[in-house]
Amino acid sequence: MAEGRKRVLSGIQPSGTLHLGNYFGMMKPSIELQDSGQECFYFIADYHALTQMPDPKQLRERSVGVAVDFLACGLDPERTTFFRQSDVPEVHELTWILSCLTPVGLLERCHSYKDKIARGLVPNHGLFSYPVLMAADILIYGSHLVPVGKDQKQHLEVTRDLAIRFNNAYGEILVVPEAMIRDEVAVVPGLDGQKMSKSYDNTIELFGEPKATRQKIMRIVTDSTPMESPKNPDTCNVFALYTLMASAAEIADLRARYLAGGMGYGHAKQALAEKYSQTFAGLRERRQELLADPRRVEDILQAGAARARAVARETLNRVRAAVGVG
Ligand code: ADP
Ligand code: TRP
């Protein structure tokens, strides 16, 4: 890595069809970071998704599907090291070594684990040790910055804690990373106004079928202000989604129409549907090209894994020597 450059690393689980919340909350900011002058490592966290024991065929297809969607959205494999977690098995060796430094109580306190148990899920050991695998993901690449949503903040704290414990015990070998927590305002609302999430069945898919997507947009919940009355854009889900895609002038124009009255929510929804199809038309085309060439996508992931493995190997060799194995 060039002097002064920092390594940015993030992962996404291939756990479902990507939606506008994932795109505006995670994918777009990650892709924009490619222009920041830092060195980006992004990966598909298929071993993390395995903690939910999905159907094998589905897990494999979703992993490739997320890769295709990311590439279609502008992830540039020339500039970014893009790979599948399971193509770098070295990460498990570091996971074990870190596990031996991890107090059980630290994992028992993790909210995401506690929440799942509270919802009645019977945990497997993988779910319990999930944050240790995540720490290994981050530490094995000597990552400096980790952009994640707020829900992952505690896992970053665990990662930092483990890196510090390791360095105290064995010498300054691991980089202690910083979280880059994405801003709260970036929460994208779903059809019902709650946070858009596949768990709430309120999503607009990123690459949904056009007609079905239009119908979904027409179903977005609005208040019952009559057609002729002025409307408040700042409390409207349709307007919130529109602002993510439109230019400043277009947003100002729609705002004025809300405030003036005489415009029904149906019109705002039409404007949103138009904007959605314009915004993603080019990306859809690129996605079709990638879908038609699965070999190319696999080659990209393999080339990324080879680059990632070289970095992982180097860290692992130093770690193994430090702890006295091998
Ligand atoms: P879901 O809630 O649909 O299960 P995930 O938890 O898998 O989504 O999220 C994957 C990434 O997308 C995370 O980085 C998360 O912060 C981001 N993300 C998901 N939903 C939203 C949303 N509605 N607004 C902003 N970011 C989101
Ligand atoms: N746990 C993260 C999530 O569910 C995904 C992930 C796995 C990750 N390993 C990571 C994110 C390392 C950042 C860095 O969103």
> Over its length of 326 residues, how does the chain's per-residue pLDDT go in tens digits?
666 899 999 999 998 899 999 999 889 999 999 999 999 999 999 999 999 888 999 999 999 999 999 999 999 999 999 999 999 999 999 999 999 999 999 999 999 999 999 999 999 999 999 999 999 999 999 999 999 888 899 999 999 999 999 999 999 999 999 999 876 556 899 999 999 999 899 999 999 999 999 999 999 999 999 999 999 999 999 999 999 999 999 999 999 999 999 999 999 999 999 999 999 999 999 999 999 999 999 999 999 999 999 999 999 999 999 999 99
- How, if at all, do strands 39-44 and 81-84 pair? parallel
Could you tell which of 47, 152, 175 is best to mutate to test the pocket of ligand 2, judged by most ligand atoms within 8 Å of the CB? Answer: 152
d(CA 171, CA 244): 46
Q: Is 28 noted as a catalytic residue in this protein?
A: no
Structural contact between residues 47 and 85, judged by C-beta atoms closer than 8 angstroms: yes
d(CA 34, CA 57): 31
d(CA 301, CA 82): 6
Q: Which residues contact 93 (CB under 8 A, 6 or more apart)?
A: 316, 320
134 CA distance to ligand 2 middle (Å): 6
Q: Which atom of ligand 2 is nearest to the CA of 134?
A: 9
Q: Which atom of ligand 1 is nearest to the CA of 182?
A: 16
d(CA 19, CA 190): 10
CB atoms within 10 A of CB 29: 16
As its CATH architecture, domain 7-187+294-323 has 3-Layer(aba) Sandwich (3.40)
134 lines ligand 2 (CB under 6 A): yes
CA–CA distances in Å: residue 41 to residues 12, 33, 131, 235 = 12, 11, 19, 37
Two tokens at 201? 């069945």
Residues with CB under 6 A from ligand 1: 12-13, 15, 21-22, 25-26, 149, 186-188, 195-199
CA dihedral of 38, 18, 289, 280, whole degrees rounded to 10: -90
The catalytically annotated residue of 57, 116, 153, 275 is 116
In total, the chain counts a number of residues equal to 326
Point out the ligand nearest to the CA of residue 193: 1
Please provide the DSSP assignment of 126-186 as one string. Answer: HHHHHHHHHHHHHHTTT-SEEEE-GGGHHHHHHHHHHHHHHHHHH-S-S---EEEEPPGGG
CA geometry: angle at 271 spanning 252 and 247, to 5°?
40
Atom 12 of ligand 1: nearest residue by CA position: 22
pLDDT for the residue numbered 16: 87
What are the sequence ranges of the domains in the chain?
A: 7-187+294-323, 198-288
Q: If DSSP codes are grouped into helix, strand and coil, which group holds residue 89?
A: coil
Point out the ligand nearest to the CA of residue 241: 1
Residue 145 backbone dihedrals phi, psi, to 5 degrees: -125, 135
pLDDT for the residue numbered 181: 85
CA–CA distances in Å: residue 27 to residues 42, 84, 91, 101, 258 = 10, 16, 24, 33, 30
Closest C-alpha to 19, from 148, 153, 189, 243 = 189
pLDDT for the residue numbered 11: 96
Q: Which atom of ligand 1 is nearest to the CA of 189?
A: 23
Domain 198-288 is found in CATH 1.10.240.10: yes
Could you tell me where the DSSP H helices lie in the chain?
20-22, 28-32, 46-49, 56-72, 90-99, 104-108, 111-118, 125-139, 153-170, 210-218, 237-245, 248-260, 265-291, 294-323
Q: Which atom of ligand 2 is nearest to the CA of 151?
A: 15
pLDDT for the residue numbered 1: 67
Give, to the nearest 10 degrees, the angle between helix 294-323 and helix 265-291.
80
pLDDT for the residue numbered 185: 52
Point out the ligand nearest to the CA of residue 180: 2
CA geometry: angle at 168 spanning 164 and 173, to 5°?
70
Two tokens at 238? 């349709």
The catalytically annotated residue of 6, 114, 150, 198 is 198
pLDDT for the residue numbered 139: 98
Q: Is 269 noted as a catalytic residue in this protein?
A: no
d(CA 55, CA 51): 12
CA–CA distances in Å: residue 130 to residues 13, 73, 119, 143 = 12, 28, 18, 18
Could you tell which of 10, 17, 19, 26 is best to mutate to test the pocket of ligand 1, judged by most ligand atoms within 8 Å of the CB? Answer: 26
